[in-house]
Amino acid sequence: MSSSGEIFEKAVRGHVKESKVSNVSKGAETLHSKIFLKAMPLRKLSDLDKIKREVKSGNILIIKVSPLASKSVEDIKTAVNELCSFAESVEGDIARLGEERIVVTPSGVRIWREKAASQQEEVTTAA
């Protein structure tokens, strides 16, 4: 199983590669602005507006959902559903990082997910 550090490293590395390729093909255009990895708590539903603005501006967010979850399970369900819809609408990505955090990425950044081995794949064993 991969650590969250590996997931972020691959996500950021993938975005940097895409930026370099697109900049080379565009010739003399300037480099894209910097991407930041930011951590923030989700304390109330109104915090979603700030999260969305950050992601739209190209930043990757790690959101601690436990402050809101401790207040209202229904609000956390609403928030997560809204962030899932938002990530899809901006062609970003979203994933859970354990029980207390989620990560939301902007367009062009994908979260690496390890695929489970297929049951039909042959498993070799040592003799």
pLDDT, one tens digit per residue, over 75-115 is 999 999 999 999 999 999 999 999 999 999 999 999 998 88
The superfamily (CATH) of domain 4-23+32-105 is SepF-like protein (3.30.110.150)
Q: Is the pLDDT of residue 10 over 70?
A: no
Query: In degrees rounded to 5, what are phi and psi of residue 87?
Result: -60, -40
Whether 40 and 47 have beta carbons less than 8 Å apart is answered as: yes
Contact present, 45 and 75 (Cβ < 8 Å): yes
pLDDT, residue 114, reads 85
Across 8-33, b (16+ Cβ under 10 Å) vs e yields beebeebbeeeeeeeeeeeeeeeeee
Q: pLDDT at position 32, please? A: 57
Band (pLDDT 50/70/90 cuts) for residue 126 is low
pLDDT in tens, 34-62: 899 999 999 999 999 999 999 999 999 99
pLDDT of residue 72: 94
**Using alpha carbons only, how large is the chain's radius of gyration in Å?**
18
Q: Which residue has the tokens 């402050």?
A: 67
More confident position, 117 or 56: 56
Structure pTM?
0.66
